[in-house]
Structure 1
Amino acid sequence: MARPNPPVRLTPEEQKRRRQRSMALALALGIFCILLFAVTLAKLGPGIMQRPL
């Protein structure tokens, strides 16, 4: 039976770069979601609020 690998210890510089990368990915995902929402609203047009329910 194989033994599990010990946990990796990151240096403070590596932790900082990992956090920056995570924040950049979160920001990119947020911008992508907002862009999709805006495109959806643009394709539906302004008359979407005047439709019968």
Structure 2
Amino acid sequence: MSDPQNEGPVDAKARRGRNIALALGLVLFVVLVFIVTVVRMGANTPHG
């Protein structure tokens, strides 16, 4: 791994891009799990 104190601007930008991509992936995963949970709970309700 690179040392954040001794990296150039290109390395810092690449690391920031990876961090943003990882954060977006994690948020999308949480949203997907939430949607699946709501749909499954809604399917268990009696209809009428």
Under TM normalisation by the shorter chain, which class is it? 0.7 to 0.9
Which residue matches 1:25? 22
Stretches of structure 1 that go unaligned for 5 or more consecutive residues are: 1-7, 48-53
Q: Where does structure 1 differ by over 2 angstroms across 4 or more consecutive aligned residues?
A: none
- Cα RMSD over matched residues? 1.2
Stretches of structure 2 that go unaligned for 5 or more consecutive residues are: none
Q: Which has the higher helix share?
A: 2
TM-score, normalised via structure 1 length: 0.71
Residues 7-52 of structure 1, C-alpha deviations (whole Å, 9 max, x = no match): x3011000000000000000000000000000000000164xxxxx
Greater RCO between the two (CA within 8 Å, min separation 6)?
2
Count of aligned positions: 40
Larger of the two Rg values belongs to structure: 1
Which residue matches 1:34? 31
Taking the aligned partners of 2:16 and 2:23, their CA distance within structure 1 comes to 10
